[in-house]
């Protein structure tokens, strides 16, 4: 009977000690939350392990997250997945289709996104226009007009040269036949003979003033109406056009009343002031998005989102560096209440921690039985 009591008592004490020790060890991971002092002496093992090492844990956790869990490479792999790019393309196209049938005005569409277009649109357009033109000018100012002018524009202008030449020729004939033309010829004749007095007397005796002006006018009109004049004028215009194409933009700038850097802001401001913003903003979105524009927008989006992805890929590493993710995680972990952290951990691993307590009780009881056996074999 004494033996049974001995084994039972030793097993019970061992189990109680083992279970209580493990339970206390688990609790001491988090508790107490703050150090306990007796006078000026701090009680050992206070605060608990996690509260005491929270700053170190926060730094370690932030470093782990930034270097291994949330990295630029992971984001790149995610963004470059085919399903993500397909989703982006489809989403943009669906928005364009939706806007193509949208009856709300442009102003209302901006308000939906929290943007006051009446105020922001002119400022933004002026800034972008000025910035892009300035950037373009600085990049191409040393080039010739022929180098910067699109080939399509050059061919279009060259195709118009015969027509322009004919118009110039006709304008010249019309001016010569007009009273104003005759008056200008008279002034030119007077200016010429004012500097040649002897010659003037001789010519006046032969023709008379009135007859001389009429004769010059008739001869000039007849000369301009000759068939040979049209190809001559066209050749002259083509020659001038080729010479213009060879001129650098800086030479064109010299002929202006101000520098390009001064003209560009004035041009952008003037463009924005003359644009009918009020009428444009009150138009329904659907009226602006014609079928051709919808097709163009879809093509533009399919190109734009790829460039957007390329831009993100190029700058993602820099953005991550500026973001300082490890600092953010560290601050969040440091500021997170320990009591909430305890509830979180215990809520997730309650069963496993209970099993650790039971395992401690089991091992303690087993050790108690072994101790009882030793006491029985080797009595004091």
Residues 207-266: pLDDT tens digits?
555 566 677 777 777 877 788 888 888 888 888 888 888 888 888 777 777 888 888 888
Please write the tens of the pLDDT for every residue from 119-134. Answer: 888 888 889 898 988 8
Query: Which neighbouring-strand residues pair with 105?
Result: 284
Q: What are the tens digits of pLDDT across the range 295-323?
A: 888 888 888 878 887 788 777 778 877 77
**Around Cβ 298, how many Cβ atoms within 10 Å?**
16
Q: Which two tokens stand for residue 291?
A: 């079928």
| pLDDT at residue 84 tops 60 | yes
Q: Which residue has the higher pLDDT, 100 or 90?
A: 90
Top-confidence residue, 43 or 192: 43
From residue 297, how far is each of 96, 99, 103, 229, 291 by CA, in Å?
A: 7, 11, 18, 49, 10
Going by the DSSP 8-state scheme, the letter that residue 149 receives in this structure is S
pTM, two decimals, is 0.46
Give the model's pLDDT for residue 4.
Answer: 80
Which pLDDT band, with edges at 50, 70 and 90, does 292 fall under? confident
Which is higher by pLDDT, 341 or 96?
96
Cα(345)–Cα(49) distance, integer angstroms: 14
Residue 168 and residue 114: Cα distance in Å, rounded?
54
- Check if the beta carbon of residue 214 is closer than 8 Å to that of residue 208: no
Mean pLDDT of 159-164: 88
Over residues 132-140, the mean pLDDT reads 87
pLDDT above 90: percentage of residues in the chain: 0
Looking at the predicted structure, is the pLDDT value of residue 206 above 60?
no
Q: Which residues are within 8 A (CB) of 246 and not within 5 positions of it... i.e. 6 or more apart?
A: 144, 145, 146
pLDDT value at 188 more than 70: yes
Where along the chain do its domains lie? 2-73+344-377, 145-247
Mean pLDDT of 71-84: 78
Where residue 196 falls among pLDDT bands split at 50, 70, 90?
A: low
Provide DSSP, 51-75: HHTHHHHHHHHHHHIIIIIS-HHHH
């Amino acid at each position: 009977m004494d033996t049974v009591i001995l084994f039972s008592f030793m097993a019970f004490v061992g189990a109680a000690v083992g279970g209580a020790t493990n339970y206390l060890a688990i609790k001491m991971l988090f508790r107490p939350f703050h150090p306990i002092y007796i006078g000026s002496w701090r009680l050992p093992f206070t605060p608990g392990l996690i509260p005491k090492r929270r700053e170190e844990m926060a730094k370690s956790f932030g470093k782990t997250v930034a270097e291994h869990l949330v990295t630029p490479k992971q984001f790149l792999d995610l963004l470059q997945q085919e399903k993500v790019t397909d989703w982006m393309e489809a989403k943009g196209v669906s928005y364009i289709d939706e806007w193509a049938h949208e009856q709300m005005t442009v102003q209302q569409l901006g308000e939906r996104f929290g943007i006051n277009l009446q105020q922001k649109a002119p400022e933004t357009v002026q800034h972008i226009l000025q910035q892009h033109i300035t950037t373009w000018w600085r990049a191409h100012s040393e080039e010739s007009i022929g180098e910067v002018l699109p080939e399509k524009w050059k061919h279009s202008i060259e195709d118009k040269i015969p027509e322009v030449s004919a118009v110039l020729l006709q304008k010249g004939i019309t001016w010569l036949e007009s009273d104003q033309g005759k008056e200008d010829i008279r002034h030119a004749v007077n200016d010429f003979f004012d500097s040649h007095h002897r010659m003037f007397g001789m010519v006046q005796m032969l023709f008379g003033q009135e007859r001389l002006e009429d004769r010059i006018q008739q001869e000039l009109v007849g000369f301009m109406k000759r068939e040979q004049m049209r190809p001559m004028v066209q050749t002259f215009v083509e020659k001038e056009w080729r010479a213009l194409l060879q001129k650098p933009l800086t030479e064109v700038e010299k002929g202006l009343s101000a520098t390009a850097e001064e003209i560009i802001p004035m041009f952008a401001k003037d463009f924005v002031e003359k644009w009918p913003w009020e009428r444009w903003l009150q138009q329904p979105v659907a009226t602006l998005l014609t079928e051709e524009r919808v097709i163009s927008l879809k093509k533009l989006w399919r190109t734009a989102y790829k460039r957007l992805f390329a831009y993100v890929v190029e700058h993602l590493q820099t953005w991550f560096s500026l973001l300082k993710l490890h600092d953010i995680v560290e601050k969040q972990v440091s500021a997170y209440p320990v009591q909430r952290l305890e509830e979180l951990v215990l809520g997730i691993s309650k069963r496993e921690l209970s099993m650790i307590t039971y395992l401690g009780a089991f091992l303690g009881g087993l050790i108690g039985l072994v101790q009882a056996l030793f006491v029985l074999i080797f009595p004091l």
